[in-house]
Structure 1
Amino acid sequence: MQRKTMKTVMQGALLLSVASLIAKILSAVYRVPFQNMVGNTGFYVYQQIYPIYGIGMTFALSGLPMFISKLVAENETAEAKLTLVSRIFMILAGFSLILFLGLQAFSLPIASAMGDPGLAPIIRSVSWMFLFSPFLAISRGYFQGEYDMRPTALSQLVEQAVRVAVILFVAYWAMRHQWNVYRMGAWAMSSAPIAAIFATLVMLFYVRHHQVKVFRLAYQPAAQSYGHLAKRLLIEGGTISLFASMMVLLQLVDSFTVMRGLMIQGLPPLLAKSIKGVYDRGQPLVQLGLVVATSFSSSLLPSLTESLNHGSRQQFARQANTVIRMSVTIATAAAIGLIALMPEVNVLLFGNQQGNGMLSVYVLSIIFATLIMIDNSILQSLNQFVVTIAGLVIGLLVKISFNQWAVVRFGAIGASWITVFALLCMAGFLMQQLRKERLMAFKQGFLLKLILISIIMLLAVRVVMPLGSLLTATWSPRMTALVNSGLGVLVGVLVFMLLALKLKLLTLREWLLLPQADRWLRWLKK
């Protein structure tokens, strides 16, 4: 293998991060026009099955390729690497085929368990994507292990762009031709295998261009047996993939419990589906919030590993604490800001104010999910894999145990509270493990200051927003919501920043890590 410079590695990591960021934004934003076209019930139909796609996508795009790249990097010769990925392909192909056949055969029982047998064709539609996952995972993992991030980045962008285009076209076509929501859902979910075909073509181009014979050496002797590789894929690769799909796993629990809980409560099926569709509006909001909150933090995480490699435990602790504090600050500002803006954001994006309460509760997930992601990265840099998976299991058990009961007892808002509580339990467990590593991010009144600043910001935004309505009395509700939201964002950012500086929420060194910080800090201090 050619010698790879640190500059090449960093450029590749930056390229993959940018591609991932664009893909995440695309994945969150398309749901707004989609919901506008298909309505609450149509959105419910799509979102019920989306977690199956989301989990499969995480395995094929980020979780398994990341682990496979690690295995590839462990081998020195080209022959050993190709033999390795060939064997991994055989293992993944067998697993994916079983998964595909299982979803095809048991689509009706799965749909019935979700409380809606009509979802069965949509489950069968999405199952086809799993046939493409093995090749996508091993080809992406191989090139990442060779420090070439371009194939993964390009295939990721192509995949998301094609999927979003197909979904929006299907929604438009279904609206024009008055399809029922289940037919629309089946065709919309077919975007997953169609996009996977395009991503596969991109990866095939790179495989042929670089003459990577990934299937030729499957039966040659290898350092690791099929059994050993399968075990590592299950334990190590599975851990990475499951944590990457944390929010999707919680949504999967919702798919099996919210609709059923609403019907047990006594609601007619059509109304229950509509309410679940309104509840699902929270997912793109949280997804966008997480993109904003984690994009900055992820850029700081590589420096943690570098500090550990140089044996500087004190520097590692300082950097880890900085990442945690800044991540939680940004995530809290985003979550509380969304709560303050919720009536207007709901009208602006979805056309009405249905579900303001449960959506306001749901977006609190941004704070704890961000904290969990950062804690997980720090603990994994310390090789604490068992601890992180234990935290994930705790959160899932809380969600599974209480979700349907909370929906029956309190309605859909109960599912929002249980999601937040499950994430809180997970975050608390991981923070406790970090304390054992002598990492104390929240001290000197940090949390009290953050809560106080957030409350004042929320009140300020709520007081100021109605002023926009005076200027837009004759405008449409959405245009009025746009003006009010813009005014609220401006006031919220200014109030939060001024109070954070006044109360010294973060140190000057931490503030200066933000882009163009020296310029706007001087302006704010004036």
Structure 2
Amino acid sequence: MENNQFKHAMRGAWVLSLGALIAKILSAVYRVPFQNLVGDTGFYVYQQVYPLYGIGMTFALSGFPVFVSKLVAEAPDFEAKAAVTHRARVIMTWLGVGMFAALELGAGLIAKLMADPGLTPLIQSVGLMFLTMPLLSTARGYFQGTFDMTKTAVSQVVEQVIRVAVILLAAWFAVQGGWDVYKMGTWAMSGAFFGGLGALLVVWPAYHRVFRKRRFAFSGFDQYAQLMTRFVREGGAITLFAAMLILLQLVDSFTVTRGLVASGVTPAAAKALKGVYDRGQPLVQLGLVVATSFSASLLPALTRAVAQDRRTAFRRTARQLVHFNFGLSLAAAAGLIALMPAVNRLLFGSTAETPALRMYALSIVLVALINADNAILQSLNHLRVTAYALAAGFLVKLISTEWFTFRHGTLGAAFSTVLSLTVIFVVLHFALPSVLRGFDPRAFNLRLCFVVGVMSVVVHVVATHMPFATRGDALILLVVTITLGVLLFVVLASWVKLYTVREVLTIPFGRRFMKAWRKLTQHH
């Protein structure tokens, strides 16, 4: 019976992970055609306000639903599950209405702090999405808490499809109708609200069937106060960590343009430069999708090992998680850095600010390692240290960005992001159990540096001998070098035994790869 429940939970986790993966890919990929349609200044206008949407999306997608699902799973019976869901919805409603009011009434002030009053209508447009957040996050949390992951996964994909469609339609109409960039941005940001409505249509029928005939008496201020405290402590920690990169981007929205203008750049040129700098965000998102794709398969095993107090299994799984995240993220970042001029030309039409984008690409490695360390600490229920780490990194970013931007332009802004992520990683790393920070007898890091180093040098040398004057040339270069890089990484990693047999077998198609590699080596 217990085994069947575990299998059901694992199937649900895979469905939810697949939905989240599709949503992340959509969220990253659409920005390329969008930037090509609206240009660097149009992209700047959108990206300045995007972090406000990103925070709301994190609340509704991966932050509060996870916390509500925990509350529901803890409840002993159906009545208790329904009651705690109702109380969570009341709290989320007050939060959503409060954030909506803050953005509607404070949009002018926020836009001035971003050094661009023209952003006011965009900020007000983002505020609308917070009206859909309370019911959407509560419903998702309830279904996840009852192990029905399909509705959440489908709603995630529907939300992103509708939002991306609205954004690209707004960009197309703006080009055809000659709209100014702020009108275009306002309509593009409305995609968040329409996407939220679409997601509500997915979860509402089933949610309404459960709660339509139920009436809940007021449970007293004490219970709401206790629940609110847990929302802040536990739900807040989960949500803020899920929004880590978005919070750092929010600091950029308030500081980078100001720093560029203070350094002597004209306001118009500063907006265009900020738009070019923002090209790094979708590249980092795509790199993280690649880098962390295998790690999702290890998280259930990590949680189960802790629950069953199997220390050896926990250490082994935790080390595997770090190895996969570090190995794949370092390979993705190194490849992106080596090929950044061609990537920049192919996707965005120019090679502008390539050094800054190369610096920004280092974020892939740091965020992947931070996510691995955070997963380990959360499985051990060490939530407080993650909040301290995030606060320290955010403070460093807040203090350093404008100064570094003033001194070194967008390269300085990218460096401040890398610096703040380094601070977060160091705090989390030293909070890990000592057995995971100790000496690695297999010298994984040394083997990894050899593999990635050889791969990077070969790819860079080949790329320098393939000039690219057009996007077509850049596409040919990238197809050749990426294929070469992937093959080199796989062959070299297999040759130096970078991953153990047990680690390879945990990834999808790992067993087939082992059989093929064994046949190949035996043949030679």
* TM-score, structure 2 as length reference: 0.95
The one-letter amino acid of 1:487's match is V
Q: Which runs of 5+ in 2 are unaligned?
A: none
| CA-CA distance at 1:223 after TM superposition | 11
* Alignment equivalent of 2:289, drawn from 278, 288, 291: 291
Distance 1:520 1:4 in 2: 33
CA 1:248–1:214 in 2, change beyond 3 Å: closer, same or farther?
farther
- 8 Å contact kept, 1:86–1:217: no
For residue 352 of structure 1, report the CA deviation from its aligned partner.
Answer: 1.1
Of 239, 242, 247, 2:240 maps to 242
Residue 252 of structure 2 is matched in structure 1 by: 254
Partner of 1:518: 514
Q: 1:3 to 1:458 in 2, by over 3 A?
A: closer
Q: Distance in 2 between matches of 1:304 and 1:47?
A: 36
User: Residue 432 of structure 1 aligns with which residue?
Assistant: 430
Alpha-carbon distance change, 319 to 3 in structure 1, aligned in 2, over 3 angstroms: closer
Deviation, 1:520, is 4.9
Match of 1:354 in 2: 352
Give, in whole Å, the separation in 2 of the partners of 1:395 and 1:24.
Answer: 24
Task: Answer whether contact 1:468 1:487 (CA < 8 A) is retained.
Answer: no
Taking the aligned partners of 1:524 and 1:439, their CA distance within structure 2 comes to 36
What amino acid sits opposite 1:190 in the alignment? S
Matches of 2:129 and 2:505, distance apart in 1: 44
Alignment partner of 1:463 is 2:461: yes
Report the equivalent of 1:201.
201
Map of 1:330-369 to 2, 5 A cutoff?
A: 330-369=328-367
Matched, 1:183 2:183: yes
Q: Offset of 1:83 from its aligned partner?
A: 1.6
1:58 and 2:58 are equivalent in the alignment: yes
Other-structure match for 2:413: 415
Change in CA separation of 1:437 and 1:97 when aligned onto 2, cut-off 3 Å: farther
- AA at the equivalent of 1:204: W
Q: Tell me the SS of whatever aligns to 1:52.
A: helix
Aligned-partner Cα distance in 2 for 1:253–1:353: 25
1:71 is matched with which residue?
71
1:131 aligns with 2:156: no
Distance 1:172 1:497, change over 3 A: same
Aligned to 1:13: 13
SS class of match (1:44):
helix
CA distance in 2, matches of 1:204, 1:253: 35
Deviation at 1:440, TM superposition (A): 3.7
Q: Does the Cα contact within 8 Å between 2:174 and 2:184 map onto a contact in 1?
A: yes
2: CA distance, partners of 1:414 / 1:468: 30
Between 300-309 and 49-58, report the one with greater CA deviation: 300-309
Q: How many residues align?
A: 518
Measure the CA separation in 2 of the matches of 1:395 and 1:523: 48
- CA displacement at 1:293 relative to structure 2: 1.0
Deviation at 1:299? 1.1
Matched-pair contact (CA < 8 Å) for 1:42–1:185: yes
How much does 1:357 deviate?
0.7
How far, CA to CA, are the matches of 2:171 and 2:3 in structure 1?
49
Identity of aligned residues (%): 47
Match of 1:509 in 2: 502
RMSD over equivalenced CA pairs, Å? 2.0
CA pair 447-7 structure 1, distance change in 2 beyond 3 A: closer
Aligned partner of 1:141 in structure 2 is 141
Q: Which moved more, 1:287-296 or 1:511-520?
A: 511-520
User: How do residues 294-333 of structure 1 correspond to structure 2 at under 5 angstroms?
Assistant: 294-333=292-331
- Asked if 1 retains the 8 angstrom alpha-carbon contact of 2:99 and 2:130, the reply is yes
Instruction: Find the aligned partners of 1:66 and 1:223 in 2 and give their Cα distance.
Output: 24
Q: Which residue is 1:168 aligned to?
A: 168
The 1:67–1:346 alpha-carbon spacing in structure 2 relative to 1, beyond 3 Å, is same
The equivalent of 1:271 in structure 2 is 269
1:260-291 Cα distance to aligned partner (Å, 9 max, x none): 11011111111000000000000000001111
Listed one character per residue, the Cα deviations across residues 423-466 of structure 1 (whole Å, up to 9, x for unaligned) are 11111111111143655485654333333432322221121124
Distance 1:374 1:3, change over 3 A: closer
Distance in structure 2 (CA, Å) of the matches to 1:198 and 1:35: 25
Residue 518 of structure 1 deviates from its aligned partner by 1.2
Aligned with 2:478 (options 482, 485, 501): 485
Q: 1:328 to 1:442 in 2, by over 3 A?
A: farther
Secondary structure of the residue aligned to 1:434 is coil
Deviation at 1:237, TM superposition (A): 0.4
- Report the CA distance shift for 1:158/1:453 in structure 2 as closer, same or farther (over 3 A): same
Identify if the C-alpha distance between structure 1 residues 521 and 224 changes in structure 2 by more than 3 Å, giving closer, same or farther: farther
Q: Is the 8 A contact 2:256 2:410 kept in 1?
A: yes
CA distance in 2, matches of 1:215, 1:184: 43
